[in-house]
């Protein structure tokens, strides 16, 4: 008989609701529930005298405040979370007995936390970094965590090097600089001496490290796990998440500017998307390798610095996750959630991947100090939905009131309960892998091919993506003061591709390698490039509409409606907040003023026709807006007189068509519609340009300053 509790999409929320504060919140009280009559002045001797120790309300309020902070995560300190649910497409019974992967009708609640790795809790979102992608499934068989990243591999092979990596990449110990950045001497000093890091360097210097949105990045389990079915047959697996909106990135210049203008850019994007009903969705995929094929690849399948190329091991998309609710309280949920790769359920097992093995220890260990003791799993966000029953007792912050006198097993006084469950009753049975070996500090020879997959990655990039990588090296190594360190990194990447090394050396003032490395070859894995991603939707994209007094209202209404119908979010941007008057004397509410926004927070810009163009083309703000959007490869649309603003901007060398279509421009994502053109066809072209996301070739137009 299946004695497990039934779970649905709402189960976790219902559990959390039970710890919400008392709805009777009319009066302020102390923590003892005593009503407070006055909270503006402390109790004193006379109106100008000293405060009294007996003022219990004052002391309690200050003491609690003094202790509000807990240690931030040593890595992944900066994060944002959301609730949602997961559904499998079809029963996975053949491969795993995990209950949440059996029934397509079942919705398993999840909580996801996205994060940057290096920065402190208050650091900017848009820095160059790996992003964490951690998912907790509240299944009826207990909590299952996939604690992943947005890149499929890692910097190192063995967890024992993790403290070295993190010490090298965090702000330097003497002066605590730089914040949230790998662009400094100690990281590159470490990297230059560690060939196994090369593949990951290619990923971290690619556009993957500056995602446009948490909703537009992939997730990967990185480590190798196992699926085990009810018969006990096991297969090696790797986990993938792919966003339905496609994988899109920011421009590096834009990312840096956003870090100042809106350091919460990715957090805000996630929050607002969920509030607006644009629920982020990700498909869940697995790659599986049969046990007998373990050694049939030219990489070691336990090596976390390697991908399993899709061409060799296909990804099977088996389910979908939807994020549909923001947390009620950041601290209680997003900050206090505790993930651990060792949180597995029956049907999912571990592997001997040496990076994973170390992680299995580290996460529980770090929670003990971060969350203040061994009872952190009682914190509401960490509580499983399946019942917890064992003989673990006491410790700091214990909230369960265990009853009876028995806290040991076996026992007769308590009818031998709780007792171990056999596998048929859902007991977790570790996969019986046969192992034989000597105790040694060593790794298998196969782990030592550090460059083949770095070459594969480089080769799979488009020309634009390659250029971004080269420029990222120029930035990162350009911030390194020690030229010896710069040179060592150039020598390292010379192993990937000789031309890459030369191009990097050119930008950072060091000689090219003494002997040019071999070219990277021709082998490609097309899906490593973001060029192959989804580009047929404008859902949830933000479009700025620049409008001053005298814009053509009917046209704006038509374009705005078409964009909204396709799921985008147009906003009126004008000099001041309030209302802005159209040519025919009607008014529209301004969404953002020049002072509070900029092109960098939008995906596209549209300049309507009307006599307002006379004003716009003389406004440095509007001109800069267009220049910057152009430089960052964003779609730009202009109708009628609106084209005047483009002509006043630095977009030179671009001929403006004033007849219908403007097809040559549309190729570059600059869509215009002259007096003869039709607004309908403008809308179609503009939507196609927005769906493309960015028109990166434009970055090369050096005559456009921004
Ligand atoms: Fe983590 N990692 N990690 N990591 N990691 C932590 O646990 C660690 C690694 C990842 O949103 C810490 O609760 C070691 C790979 C995410 O709360 C800590 C090693 C991957 C998060 C820790 C790794 C990750 C963490 C710090 C080398 C991708 C944030 C706070 C073997 C698969 C989870 C905490 C959240 C957090 C240790 C490498 C992902 C110290 C020792 C590889 C997404 O325990």
pLDDT for res 4:
74
Please report which confidence band the pLDDT of residue 25 belongs to, taking 50, 70 and 90 as the band edges. Answer: confident
Q: Which residue has the higher pLDDT, 660 or 17?
A: 17
Ligand 1 centroid from CA 75, angstroms: 7
What does the pLDDT look like over 321-352, one tens digit per residue?
Answer: 999 999 999 999 999 999 999 999 999 999 99
The secondary structure element, H or E, covering residue 569 is strand 569-574
| Atom nearest to 366 CA in ligand 1 | 44
Angle, to 10 degrees, between the axis of helix 185-192 and the axis of helix 483-493?
A: 40
CA 87 – ligand 1 centroid, Å: 25
pLDDT interval class at 161 (50, 70, 90): very high
Is the CB of residue 147 below 6 angstroms from any atom belonging to ligand 1?
yes
Indicate whether 699 pLDDT > 90: no
Q: Which two tokens stand for residue 362?
A: 């580290």
> According to the model, what pLDDT value does residue 658 have?
44
Instruction: Tell how far the Cα of 304 is from the centroid of ligand 1, in angstroms.
Output: 14
Dist. CA 236 → ligand 1 center (Å): 21
Q: Measured between alpha carbons, how far is 390 from 130 in angstroms, rounded to an integer?
A: 38
Q: How far, in Å, CA of 470 to CA of 503, rounded?
A: 7
Residue identifier of the C-alpha nearest atom 30 of ligand 1: 73
Give the residue among 567, 9, 561, 560 at the shortest CA–CA distance from 277.
Answer: 567
What ligand 1 atom has the least distance to the C-alpha of 304? 42
The whole-number average pLDDT for the span 286-302 is 97
Q: Would you say the CB of residue 362 lies under 6 angstroms from ligand 1?
A: yes
CA distance 275 to 425: 41
Q: Is the CB of 154 under 6 A from ligand 1?
A: yes
Cβ(11)–Cβ(109) under 8 Å? yes
> What's the rounded Cα separation, in Å, for the pair 238 and 252?
30
118, 132, 303, best to mutate for ligand 1 pocket (most atoms within 8 Å of CB): 132
Identify the pLDDT of residue 667.
Answer: 75
Which tens digits make up the pLDDT trace of 473-508? 999 999 999 999 999 999 999 999 999 999 999 999
pLDDT value for 656: 55
> What predicted TM-score, i.e. pTM, was given to this entire model?
0.97
3-state class of 264 per DSSP? coil
Catalytic residue among 57, 83, 143, 149: 149
- HSE-CB of 507 using CA atoms within 13 angstroms: 20
- Indicate which atom in ligand 1 lies nearest the CA of residue 362: 44
SS (H, E, C) 79-103: EEEEEEEEEECCCCCCCCCCHHHCC
Answer yes or no: is the C-beta of 80 below 6 A from any ligand 1 atom. Answer: no
Residue nearest to atom 41 of ligand 1 (CA): 359
Q: Is 148 in the pocket of ligand 1 (CB under 6 A)?
A: yes
How far apart, in whole angstroms, are the C-alpha atoms of residue 662 and residue 678? 11
The stretch 298-322 carries a mean pLDDT of 98
The residue whose C-alpha atom lies closest to atom 27 belonging to ligand 1 is 159
Nearest residue (by CA) to ligand 1, atom 29, is: 76
Q: Chain-centre distance of CA 508, in angstroms? A: 30
Question: Is 76 a catalytic site residue?
Answer: yes
Residue 3 banded pLDDT, cuts 50, 70, 90: low
How many whole angstroms from 240 Cα to the centroid of ligand 1?
A: 17
Instruction: Tell me the C-alpha distance between 96 and 361, whole Å.
Output: 25
- Crossing angle of helices 252-261 and 463-478, in 10° steps, is 50
- pLDDT on residue 704: 75
Query: Is 125 in contact with 116 (CB distance < 8 Å)?
Result: yes
| Residue range 254-266: mean pLDDT, rounded | 98
Both tokens assigned to 332: 């209680």
| C-alpha count within 13 angstroms, C-beta hemisphere, residue 286 | 20
d(CA 299, CA 458): 18
Does ligand 1 come within 6 angstroms of the Cβ of 240?
no
Cα of 142 to ligand 1 centre, how many Å? 21
pLDDT score for 211 = 98
Contact (CB, 8 A) for 136 and 143 = yes
Neighbour count for residue 700 (Cβ, 10 Å):
9
* Given the residues 76, 248, 450, 468, the one annotated as active site: 76
Does 132 score more than 50 pLDDT? yes
Q: Which structural domains are found in the chain, ordered by start?
A: 79-382 (2.40.180.10), 461-531 (1.20.1370.20), 535-700 (3.40.50.880)
Tell me how far CA of residue 197 lies from CA of 76, 158, 505, 692, in angstroms: 19, 11, 19, 32
404 conformational bin, left if phi > 0, alpha if psi -120 to 50, beta if neither: left
**Pocket of ligand 1 contains residue 74 by CB under 6 Å:** yes
DSSP single-letter state for residue 652: T
d(CA 495, CA 553): 59
* CA 553 – CA 562 distance, rounded (Å): 14
What atom of ligand 1 comes closest to residue 159's alpha carbon? 31
Ligand 1 close to Cβ of residue 673 (< 6 A): no
For residue 359, how far is its CA from the centre of ligand 1 (angstroms)? 7
Whole-number mean pLDDT of the chain? 95
Judged against a pLDDT cut of 50, whether residue 657 lies above it is answered with no
Quote the tokens at residue 588. 């529209």
Cβ of 75 less than 6 Å from ligand 1: yes
Reply yes or no on whether the pLDDT at 663 is more than 90: no
Residue 659 is predicted with a pLDDT of 44
* Cα–Cα distance measured from residue 596 to residue 68, given in angstroms and rounded to the nearest whole number: 32
Q: Tell me, using a 6 A CB cutoff, whether residue 149 lines ligand 1.
A: yes
User: Is 149 marked active-site?
Assistant: yes
141, 150 contact by CB (below 8 A): no
Q: For ligand 1, say whether the CB of 363 is within 6 Å of any of its atoms.
A: yes
And the tokens for 137? 């499934």
366 lines ligand 1 (CB under 6 A): yes
The CA 341 to ligand 1 mean position distance, Å, reads 9
ipTM over 0.90: yes
CA of 139 to the centre of ligand 1 (A): 22
The answer to whether residues 265 and 125 touch, using CB atoms and an 8 Å cutoff, is: yes
* DSSP codes joined into one string, 193-214: T-GGGHHHHHHHTSGGGSBS-G
Give residues with Cβ within 8 angstroms of 422, minimum separation 6: none
Q: Does residue 237 register a pLDDT over 90?
A: yes
Average pLDDT for 191-219: 98
Compute the distance between CA of residue 309 and CA of residue 305 in angstroms, rounded to an integer.
Answer: 12
What was the pLDDT predicted at 660? 42
Beta bridge mates, 249: 211
DSSP-based three-state secondary structure for 576 = coil
């Amino acid at each position: 008989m299946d004695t497990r509790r039934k779970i649905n999409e709402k189960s976790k929320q219902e559990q959390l609701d039970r710890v919400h504060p008392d709805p009777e919140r009319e009066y302020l009280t102390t923590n003892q529930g005593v009503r407070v009559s006055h909270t503006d002045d402390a109790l004193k001797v006379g109106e100008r005298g000293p405060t009294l120790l007996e003022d219990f309300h004052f002391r309690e309020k200050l003491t609690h405040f003094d202790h509000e902070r807990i240690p931030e995560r040593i890595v992944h300190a900066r994060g944002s979370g959301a609730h949602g649910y997961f559904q499998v497409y079809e029963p996975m019974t053949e491969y795993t007995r995990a209950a949440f992967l059996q029934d397509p009708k079942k919705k398993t609640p999840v909580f996801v936390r996205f994060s940057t790795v290096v920065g402190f809790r208050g650091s900017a979102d848009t820095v160059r970094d790996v992003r964490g992608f951690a998912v907790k499934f509240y299944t009826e068989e207990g909590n299952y965590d996939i604690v992943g990243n947005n890149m499929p591999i890692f910097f190192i092979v063995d967890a024992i090097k993790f403290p070295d990596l993190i010490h090298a990449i965090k702000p330097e110990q003497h002066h605590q600089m730089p914040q949230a950045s790998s662009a400094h001497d100690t990281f590159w000093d470490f990297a230059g001496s560690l060939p196994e890091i090369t593949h990951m360097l290619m990923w971290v210097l690619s556009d993957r490290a500056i995602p446009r949105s948490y909703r537009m990045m992939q997730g990967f389990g990185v480590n190798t796990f196992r699926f085990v079915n009810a018969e006990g047959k096991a297969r090696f697996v790797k986990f993938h998440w792919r966003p339905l909106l496609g994988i899109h990135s920011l421009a590096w210049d834009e990312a840096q500017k956003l870090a100042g203008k809106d350091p919460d850019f990715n957090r805000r994007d996630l929050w607002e998307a969920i509030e607006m009903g644009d629920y982020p969705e990700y498909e869940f995929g697995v790659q599986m390798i049969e046990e007998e094929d373990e050694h049939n690849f030219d990489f070691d399948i336990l090596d976390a610095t390697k991908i399993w190329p899709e061409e060799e091991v296909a990804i099977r998309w088996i389910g979908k996750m939807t994020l549909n609710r923001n947390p009620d309280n950041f601290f209680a949920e997003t900050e206090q959630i505790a993930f651990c790769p060792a949180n597995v359920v029956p049907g999912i097992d571990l592997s001997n991947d040496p990076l994973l093995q170390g992680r299995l220890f580290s996460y529980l260990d770090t929670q003990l100090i971060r969350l203040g003791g061994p009872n952190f799993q009682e914190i509401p966000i960490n509580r499983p939905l399946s019942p917890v029953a064992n003989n673990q007792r006491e410790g700091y912050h214990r909230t369960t009131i265990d009853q009876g006198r028995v806290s040991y097993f076996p026992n007769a006084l308590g009818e031998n309960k709780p007792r171990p469950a056999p596998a048929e009753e859902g007991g977790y049975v570790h996969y019986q892998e046969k192992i034989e070996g000597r105790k040694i500090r060593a790794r298998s020879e196969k782990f030592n091919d550090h460059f083949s997959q770095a070459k594969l990655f480089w080769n799979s990039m488009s020309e634009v993506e390659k250029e971004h990588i080269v420029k990222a090296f120029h930035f990162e190594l350009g911030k390194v003061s020690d030229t010896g360190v710069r040179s060592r990194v150039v020598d390292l990447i010379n192993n990937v591709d000789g031309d890459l090394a030369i191009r990097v050396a050119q930008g950072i003032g060091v000689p090219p390698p003494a002997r040019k490395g071999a070219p990277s070859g021709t082998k490609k894995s097309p899906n490593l490039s973001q060029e192959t991603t989804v580009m047929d939707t404008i859902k949830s994209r933000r479009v700025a509409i620049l409008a001053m007094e005298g814009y053509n209202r009917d046209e704006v209404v038509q374009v705005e409606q078409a964009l909204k119908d396709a799921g985008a979010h147009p906003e009126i941007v004008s000099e001041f907040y309030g209302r802005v008057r159209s040519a025919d004397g009607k008014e529209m509410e301004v969404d953002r003023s020049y002072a509070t926004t900029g092109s960098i927070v939008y995906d596209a810009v549209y300049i309507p026709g009307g006599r307002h163009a006379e004003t716009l083309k003389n406004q440095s703000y509007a001109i800069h807006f267009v220049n910057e959007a152009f430089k960052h490869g964003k779609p730009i649309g202009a109708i009628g007189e609106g084209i005047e603003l483009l002509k006043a901007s630095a977009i030179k060398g671009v001929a403006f068509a004033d007849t219908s279509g403007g097809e040559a421009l549309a190729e570059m994502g600059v869509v215009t519609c002259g007096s003869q053109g039709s607004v309908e066809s403008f809308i179609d072209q503009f939507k196609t340009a927005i769906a493309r996301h960015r028109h990166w070739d434009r970055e090369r137009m050096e005559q456009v300053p921004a």
